[in-house]
Chains A and B, each alone.
Chain A
């Protein structure tokens, strides 16, 4: 590639090969959970576990192959800020579900 290689705070550039690998992996990781749920082949626990695993894997695949995130030092701030958001997102979602389940539980018990 040319002299535009590094954008200090930005994403690096990819190659055709990288995008095609990303696309193929994404298609596979989309087809698996859709196939499992639509065919009804697996039980509830197995299906939900597969959906979760494939979703996490596909998010990682797209971050690496489409957004070109990596562990290089130029991208340290991109990665650190992203990890911080992951923590925020986890607190928001897990915390909301946790609190609201307890609330529902207490309301239903008639206290």
Chain B
């Protein structure tokens, strides 16, 4: 029954303090982590669909006749390098170096663009060879899975442009630091999904 509340600390305004603000940033990143895990479940359903349908070519051209592993290795190299360069951008941000941050983000964006260009090119080539998304269940599952990954990469690139705008406007503020942290989780996550794509779709499809 202690009714006496402790006196507020000096400088108390009733608003969230700096300290709490910091926790809030951590919560934001944790919330984004939960989103990424839910995205993992989304990709898991697409992988499951692909696993079930991957042999149902229904007379359309088969995957093993089309897959070009050295081309896939090129895409993989671009995406892996972009994951690394994003890490370098984060280190730049931690040091407070806007120049390093923007430079590495630029390199990351170009590597992402190169990856997407190769992927779209591959889709067009496959479609011309008779492996269109509507050709068979196996090809629908293929485009559904890899197209979803490609859309994520595209979304990450749009996000990167918006974030660079915010960085130029506000500098490396706490808010921008949180946004950068979320985008870096997203970008690294996309490379992890790609590991599963090249392993389960391309390499196992070619064995």
Chain A residues in contact with chain B, CB under 8 A? 1-2, 4, 6-11, 13-16, 19, 22-23, 26-27, 30, 33-34, 37-38, 44, 47-48, 51-52, 54-55, 58-59, 62-63, 66-67, 77-78, 81-82, 84-85, 88-89, 92-93, 95-97, 100
Contacts and interface: CB of A to CB of B under 8 A. Distances in A.
Contacts of B40: 85, 89
Interface string B160-191: 00000000000000000100010011001101
Interface stretch (B45-53, B106-114, B120-128): B45-53
A58 to B, nearest CB: 5
Contacts of B34: 81
Interface residues of B, number: 53
Contacts of A10: 25-26, 29-30, 33, 181
A62 B188 contact: yes
B95 to A, nearest CB: 9
Interface in B35-88: 37-38, 40-41, 44-45, 47-49, 51-52, 69-70, 73, 76-77, 80-81, 83-84, 87-88
Main secondary structure of the interface of B (DSSP, over half): helix
B199 interface: yes
A77 B30 CA distance: 8
**6 closest cross-chain pairs (CB), A and B:** A9-B30, A8-B26, A10-B29, A96-B48, A55-B199, A9-B26
Contact of A67 (B22, B51, B185): B185
Given A8-B26, A59-B192, A89-B41, 16 more contacts: A7-B22, A8-B23, A9-B26, A9-B29, A13-B91, A14-B87, A55-B196, A58-B195, A78-B30, A84-B37, A85-B37, A85-B40, A88-B44, A89-B40, A93-B47, A96-B52
A3 to B, nearest CB: 10
Contact of A59 (B31, B181, B195): B195
Contacts, number: 138
Contacts of B80: 23, 26-27, 30
A7 B191 contact: no
5 contacts: A10-B29, A37-B203, A58-B195, A62-B192, A88-B44
Nearest to A30: B76
Given A19-B84, A19-B87, A62-B83, A8 B30 contact: yes
